[in-house]
């Protein structure tokens, strides 16, 4: 039995595939994160090219021309939104200080043994560690007591603990409130006050999307609270540039260091599949006072996140 153009299982298959992708892309166009499963799928926006391509193929084989037009339109929108997001501007003032920043989610502390030698080899000036529970904190503070005499921490077990290590003196701040620890401080970087804040909002799990949005909103409020001060906001954001709640943080005047270094789509999670499929949810965000010399994502055993190391320079504001 033969089917005429636009009939048979082909159009149904194409329609289902394109409809699913269209919902996610539609939320991206509208600037909203929607409800489950949209936030979870938005993290993997570039990989929606696969079901879109299959939908196009089904429409082509079935000679379903409206579906073919639909698929091409969705494909074009995906290509458009895969471009890096956010404004970039190079600081025009003279360089004041160069420093290296490392952020790492050690997954309930299990990645700590692999992080220690990475810190020793990389020699970062500021270290942000998420999911650093009691043993993780004790290990890092003991092993680097002389290297990083200044610290800010939220002491807690499991995924709730966090730690900031610094070569520079730190003046404690209230940090950003959240279910998981997000300590903050003002660092004295060779005589220049720099706001430093660890980011670790709740992930957008089903039933927790509202909480995830609220905590990302608090990080945006931190970023917007003082746009004149040099600022470093780093950690596991549980969000990518395809999430509206994360883009609002960038819109507050920050830029993504990985993007400035040409790694705007390099996945950081899950590390076990990042070379094939993943999302960049670990970030170092900077105020316009900083330029970026380079960025590297490092694989650590024991954790499902890649660590991120960036080299930055603080400049005098014009």
Average pLDDT of the segment spanning 227-238? 97
Whether residue 69 is found in the same domain as residue 207: no
Overall domain count for the chain: 2
pLDDT, tens digit, for every residue of 93-110?
Answer: 899 999 999 999 999 999
CATH number of the domain enclosing 107: 3.60.10.10
Q: Is residue 86 part of a domain?
A: no
pLDDT of residue 111: 98
Is the model's pLDDT at 2 over the cut of 60? no
Whether residue 18 is found in the same domain as residue 106: no
Average pLDDT of the segment spanning 74-83? 96
pLDDT, tens digit, for every residue of 279-306?
Answer: 999 999 999 999 999 999 999 999 999 9
Average pLDDT of the segment spanning 156-177? 97
Of 57, 81, 105, the last residue of a domain is 81
Sheet holding 95-105, edge to edge: 150-154, 162-166, 126-130, 95-105, 307-315, 290-298
pTM of the model: 0.94
pLDDT of residue 318: 74
Is the model's pLDDT at 233 over the cut of 90? yes
Is the model's pLDDT at 91 over the cut of 90? no
**What is the token pair recorded at 108?**
């309930």
Distance CA 241, CA 225 (A): 21
Is the model's pLDDT at 89 over the cut of 90? no
Q: Is residue 46 part of a domain?
A: yes
Q: Find, among 223, 239, 313, the residue nearest to 279 by Cα.
A: 239
Whether residue 77 is found in the same domain as residue 119: no
Is the model's pLDDT at 244 over the cut of 50? yes
Of 55, 81, 107, the last residue of a domain is 81
Whether residue 283 is found in the same domain as residue 134: yes
Mean pLDDT over all residues of the chain? Answer: 95
Whether residue 19 is found in the same domain as residue 133: no
pLDDT, tens digit, for every residue of 112-145?
Answer: 999 999 999 999 999 999 999 999 999 999 999 9
pLDDT of residue 50: 96
**pLDDT grade for 8, boundaries at 50, 70 and 90:** low
Q: Is residue 88 part of a domain?
A: no
Whether residue 159 is found in the same domain as residue 29: no
pLDDT of residue 7: 59
Q: Is residue 3 part of a domain?
A: no
Domain of 60? 9-81
Q: Is residue 218 part of a domain?
A: yes
Print the SS3 string covering the chain. CCCCCCCCHHHHHHHHHHHHHHHHHHHHHHCCCCCCCHHHHHCCHHHHHHHHHHHHHHHHHCCCHHHHHHHHHHHHHHHHHCCCCCCCCCCCCCEEEEEEEEEEECCCCCCHHHHHHHHHHHCCCEEEEECCCHHHHHHHHHHCCCCCCEEEEECCCCCCCEEEEECCCEEECCCCCCCCCCCEEEEEECCEEEEEEEECCCCCCCCCHHHHHHHHHHHHHHHHHCCCCCEEEEEECCCCCCCHHHHHHHHCCCEEHHHHCCCCCCCCECCCCCCCCCECCEEEEECCCEEEEEEEEECCCCCCCCEEEEEEEEECCC
pLDDT of residue 273: 87
Is the model's pLDDT at 34 over the cut of 90? yes
Whether residue 213 is found in the same domain as residue 113: yes
Alpha carbon of 84 to those of 93, 192, 242: distances in Å? 25, 30, 9
Q: Is residue 1 part of a domain?
A: no
């Amino acid at each position: 039995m033969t089917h005429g153009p636009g009939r048979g299982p082909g159009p149904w298959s194409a329609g289902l595939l394109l409809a699913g992708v269209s919902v996610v892309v539609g939320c991206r166009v509208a600037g909203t994160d929607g409800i489950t499963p949209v936030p979870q799928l938005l993290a993997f926006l570039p990989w929606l090219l696969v079901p879109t391509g299959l939908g196009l193929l089904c429409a082509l084989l079935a000679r379903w021309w409206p579906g073919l037009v639909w698929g091409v339109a969705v494909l074009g929108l995906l290509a458009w939104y895969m471009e890096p997001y956010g404004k970039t501007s190079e600081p025009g003032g003279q360089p004041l200080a160069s420093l290296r920043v490392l952020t790492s989610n050690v997954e309930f502390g299990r990645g700590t043994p692999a992080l220690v030698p990475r810190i020793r080899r990389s020699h970062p000036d500021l270290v942000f560690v998420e999911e650093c529970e009691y043993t993780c904190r004790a290990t890092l503070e003991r092993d680097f007591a002389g290297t990083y005499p200044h610290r800010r921490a939220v002491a807690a077990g499991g995924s709730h603990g966090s730690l900031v290590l610094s070569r520079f003196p730190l003046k404690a701040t209230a940090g950003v409130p959240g279910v998981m620890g997000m300590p903050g401080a003002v660092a004295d970087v060779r005589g220049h006050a720099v706001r430093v804040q660890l980011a670790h909002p709740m992930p957008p799990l089903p039933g927790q999307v509202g909480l995830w949005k609220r905590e990302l909103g608090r990080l945006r409020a931190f970023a917007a609270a003082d746009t004149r001060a040099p600022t470093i906001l780093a950690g596991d954001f549980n969000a990518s540039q395809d999430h509206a709640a994360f883009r609002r943080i960038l819109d507050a005047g920050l830029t993504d260091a990985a993007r400035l270094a040409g790694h705007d789509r390099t996945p950081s999670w899950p590390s076990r599949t990042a070379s094939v499929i993943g999302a960049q949810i670990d970030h170092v965000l900077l105020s316009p006072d900083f330029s970026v010399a380079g960025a590297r994502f490092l694989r650590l055993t024991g954790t499902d996140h890649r660590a991120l190391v960036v080299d930055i320079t603080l400049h005098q504001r014009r």
